Amino acid sequence: MIKIQENSINVSELIKNVRNMESGATVTFLGTVRKHDESSDREIEALRYDAYNDMAIKKIDEIVNEAKKMYNIIDVCVIQRVGLIKLKEDSIGIAVSSVHRKEAFRACEYIIDKIKVIPPVWKKEVYSDSEVWKSET
């Protein structure tokens, strides 16, 4: 399952979407809004994400299918948020299930690394006095 949504990510639902009787491992990744970006000494107040939803879902699906070919995984769920996301809130959630943990970890890392650069999802850092678009989500 791949979703783009404005509301908060329900981690229990994220995991529930990949659990099944064949998987012995479920790996999750949550991308959480933090106060500092390593490229700036300014404090971030929030992030604003925007996406070309249909194309982003298509590209994320392609990434997931690549991961399924490369790693022995059973299922994947990706939820990308859009809109204003405050500090300590999650901007993306990924869950991967597999028979064994190693494949799930590798696939999850592969998926987030590709999502950060391929799909048309844009991130803006929100400061107290301005907003700045970033080139990587």
The answer to the question of residue 137 being in a domain is no
User: Is the pLDDT confidence value at 62 over 70?
Assistant: yes
Residue 29 lies in a domain: yes
Range of the domain at 66: 2-128
Does residue 41 sit within a domain? yes
Contact predicate 78/92, CB 8 Å:
yes
Is 133 inside any structural domain?
Answer: no
Q: Assess if residue 39 is contained within a domain.
A: yes
* pLDDT at 133 (0 to 100): 83
**pLDDT score for 57:** 97
* Mean pLDDT (whole number) for 109-133: 91
What's the CATH code of the domain at 90? 3.90.1170.40
For the segment 16-34, what is each residue's pLDDT rounded down to a tens digit?
Answer: 999 999 999 999 999 999 9
Does residue 99 lie in a domain region? yes
Number of domains in the chain: 1
Q: Of 53-57, 116-120, 125-129, which gets the smallest average pLDDT?
A: 125-129
